[in-house]
Every structure is written in structure tokens, then in C-alpha cells.
């Protein structure tokens, strides 16, 4: 599945969005969903591609607001982006 925004395109596996019609996914409106699915079900290439697609700051801001990330994912993001785990909404809601 290809998602395009501002002359940028990212290709993600269709099975990441098995429950949503592909033509209904808006890259801005559904950014939290896209980021969450890639973080929880994507591979390292999809992760890198989505960070590049959205830009690191936008990606981090979305990820920090997600309420459903597991501890392993929060630890990964904390290490990769050098962000305190306590900055993540999901970390504080446990």
C-alpha cells in the first residue's frame, strides 16, 4: 500500500491495515494509526521509512501521544530518540 503526502510516498504492507479500506487512509488524519501500526506490527524498514516520510519531530510527537504502546516499544523509542520514557503518554497511564 502506498501513502503519499507532499510529493513523498511511503510503501507499507497491506496487512498492517487489514481492518481499514486502503482508500480511506489519510496520511495526516490517520497519522497516529499509521505510526502505531508500524511501531507495533511493522519491520525495521517500515519504521525507518515512516520516520523519513513524516519527519523525525512529527513522528516523535505522534508516538509520544499514543496510549497503547507496550513497554518494549517505549524502551526502543526512548533509546533511539533519546527521550525519557516518562514523556510518553502510555508510560504514564500504567
Check pLDDT > 90 for residue 92.
no
Q: What is the domain count for the chain?
A: 1
Grid coordinates representing 54? 513524516
Give pLDDT, residue 94.
64
Query: DSSP character for 11?
Result: E
SS3 62: helix
The span from the CA of 59 to the CA of 80, in Å, is 12
Give pLDDT, residue 93.
74
Grid coordinates representing 37? 501500526
pLDDT in tens, 46-88: 999 999 999 999 999 999 999 999 999 999 999 999 999 999 9
Domain interval for residue 44: 2-92
pLDDT in tens, 6-40: 899 999 999 999 999 988 999 999 999 999 999 99
Amino acid at each position: 500500500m502506498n501513502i503519499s503526502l507532499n510529493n513523498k510516498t511511503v510503501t507499507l504492507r497491506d496487512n498492517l491495515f487489514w481492518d481499514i479500506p486502503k482508500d480511506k487512509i489519510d496520511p495526516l488524519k490517520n497519522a497516529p494509526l499509521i505510526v502505531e501500526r508500524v511501531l507495533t506490527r511493522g519491520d525495521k524498514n517500515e519504521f525507518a521509512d515512516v520516520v523519513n516520510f513524516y519527519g523525525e519531530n512529527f513522528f516523535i510527537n505522534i508516538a509520544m501521544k499514543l496510549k497503547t504502546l507496550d513497554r518494549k516499544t517505549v524502551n526502543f523509542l526512548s533509546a533511539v530518540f533519546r527521550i525519557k520514557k516518562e514523556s510518553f503518554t502510555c508510560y504514564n497511564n500504567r
